[in-house]
Structure 1
Amino acid sequence: MKKFIQLGAVTLALTTSQMTLADWVKDAAQAAEVKTIQLRQHIHQYPELGNMEVNTSKLVQKELKAYGIQVKTGFAKTGVIGILKGGKPGPVMALRADMDALPMQEKTNLSFASKVKAIYQGKESPVMHGCGHDAHTAILLGAAKVLAQHKDQIAGTVVFVFQPAEEGGADIDNFSEGHLIGSRKMISDGAFKDLQPEVIFGLHVIAGIPSGHLHYKTGAILNSADNLKITVNGQQVHGSMPWAGRDPIVASAQMINNLQTVVSRRSDLTQGMGVVSIGQIQAGTAGNIIPEQVSMLGTIRSNNEQVRDNILKTIPQVVEHTAAANDVKAKVEIATYAPVTMNDETLTEVMVPTLKQAANGNVKILNNNASASEDFAYYGKLMPSLFVFLGATPANQDMSKAAPNHSPFFIVDDATLKTGVESHVRFILDYPNVASQVQTAWKNKALKK
């Protein structure tokens, strides 16, 4: 017997046996909850920075091996790949979690709060899991345990991707060497060389969404991110006689203002949005000396690749022409971090029933993408991908007052972990039933490019 569910232009056929999977999946995720929480709290208490996740990596390897999952290493320094072959033939499917923490002081007063300090960019810094990657790692380990215990129910092969340095590396120049970390390095180091997944799933815990709730949308779910560095060289002179030199500070101020017109006057905002922000300015040694040089660092974000490309092309023109108008020299450097994170339309639509089962119906379609960025986007360049948000704030709290991700007060409610585990498990169990639809649409889209 089949039940047909209409989702936009996609019709999903669910067999009776598929629909009764909830009988054991929910129970299995519940049974794994205590262990998942223990893992998450341990990882939280002992966080490690990007490219330095040595002990976290060892923990992941130990757990996967204990579950009977094949383990491969040698990717992106501390990355781990787990491989689990199901009891039935089917596609190769990937699940991804990131493992790294942030260089920041924790102020949560949790019993398992971090007291760790480590070297970041050559200086000692407090370390905290202020974005929720501890939860992501524990959730994927919990899902791995459940899937390994029920591998006879899996149609296909599961690739577990434990990735380092999503937030950047502690030991490299993230501006010039970003390709040496995170998902890009996992891919270039051959994480999928021997076993290429045809689909990948990921999730991110988010403050301000109730625990156990899942939010999603098709298309752009997170912005692109590119790093901007501008160096302006003038001629140093006493502040009382600026005409005798060339002022890079005034020129830089004009550049910052003019950069805003790259979005407001030079971008087609019917296609999407863009943001250019300067977050750091360094110049001068005294108030009465016009310095020789100004250096600026900034970030570029967009939810549309055409808008993004136009911004990246236009910024050097604006800066260089502003420099010429002020008789100073300017050097513009742009370093790519991540493309727009895109949810494959067909994959997203056919997995909606899966999300609803995992979250007990507590699922919401987002009207807009989130403004942050994720290097998960690079996996989506290789295969259909789906990235969803999992609520991290206790349901009885005021969502508007929840400390956001990257705050020293950021907290993940452990009660949400079992929903994350169940989501991953259901992604793997349900995808084979819709694989042909997803792959056909993916190939047709590729032919149109």
Structure 2
Amino acid sequence: MNRRSLLAAGAGGLLVPPAPAGPPPASVPAAPAGPPPALVPAAPAGPSPASVPVSLQTGLDRLAADGWAAVRGTRVGIVSNPTGVDRDYRHLVDRMHADRVTIGAIFGPEHGFRGSAQAGGSEGTGTDARTGLPVHDAYLATQAAWERMFRESGVRTVVFDIQDVGARFYTYIYTLYDSMAAAGRLGLRYLVLDRPNPVGGSARGPMMTDGFTSGVGRLKIVQQHGMTAGELARFYNGEFLARAVDLEVITCQGWHGRLLGSDLDLPWVLPSPNMPTPTTALVYPGTGMFEGVSSLSEGRGTTRPFELIGGPASDYRWCDRLTALNLPGTRFREAYFTPTFGKFTGRSCAGVEIKIKDPHRYDPLRTAVAMLTEARKEPAFTWRLDGSRYWIDLLTGSTRLRTMIDGGAAPDEIIASWSGELAAFDQQRKPYLLYSRSTP
């Protein structure tokens, strides 16, 4: 049976149940021949879609309001972290436990269930102090390890509630993928409590290609995927999983793809220690690429990671060149900082701070590509090597961006180079989307 037949027909109800069997959908058409399709345009200048913060309900809000009906009578395993809260900052686990939902175990991703670990770390396996429930360290767990943890805990329904930030190199989307794959092989039910994508519903950037997959890019999706966790789960089920899982999504109510995190009245909880604000999330699909540059810090070890970019050998001239480009939606502030950890710990760095003037005109990929092309002109600029491979190639999915920048290509030429694969991805994801991509 075609796996897409298990996907929901729409998002109108509380749950998104499996659709009835029927004829397979038409195959995704190839990108048309001829000139590359137009890039996803920047939003026109003017007021944001929400002149006042939009009030919406997350999947957690809707499940709780329904008295936890979708998880009553089953043993639940919860995949979550500190972001799994309601608007009063009460955590999903704490609320379910207090309301006597049967929880078999908790599974913590990178940074841990309670979020105390830095990048590339976890909290280990132990017991949650508040509830007494067992907590499994699921960071870097293989699908076989997920199967073992699910068996040992005896869970029959897996609940996923984590705030993603919309970038291919953010690891929670692979926690979702691996736990879904394991649940599918064990015949478990999988329930996603959906949350808005804080960077909106537009897809941007290059596609991951064969030979460049890694822990920071394991699946063939574009760099800014523009989907919620629930939409990604449906995409995984239809496109990647060898055995589809019994998937249900409790959708957000009131969100559409033109809304950003800054448009919403939802509480923001750090999804990871270096993601302090919705603005950080907005710039991250672009400036996260500076992790692939040895000569420049991406701002880890400062109070503005991914917004402050600079290095010991840089100076004010980089800011001047970027300011002259007059990139839409942003301004650059000449900035100086001293990281407390990460690259250049304790050393004075010069560079820029990205100041978002209009988040709806700001394009994180275009901005970051322009920043990289101007930074490449500095004598001290060096790409970061990871063994025999360049880290930037793993982040961007191929050698293309690095070699084009090294060859002197202009930002518009680089952006245009992936327009065809981006258009094809936009078509590929359409059957799995749950929310409109236009302003109602």
Greater fraction strand = 1
TM-score of the alignment, normalized to the shorter chain, above 0.5:
no
Return the TM-score normalized by structure 1: 0.28
Return the TM-score normalized by structure 2: 0.28
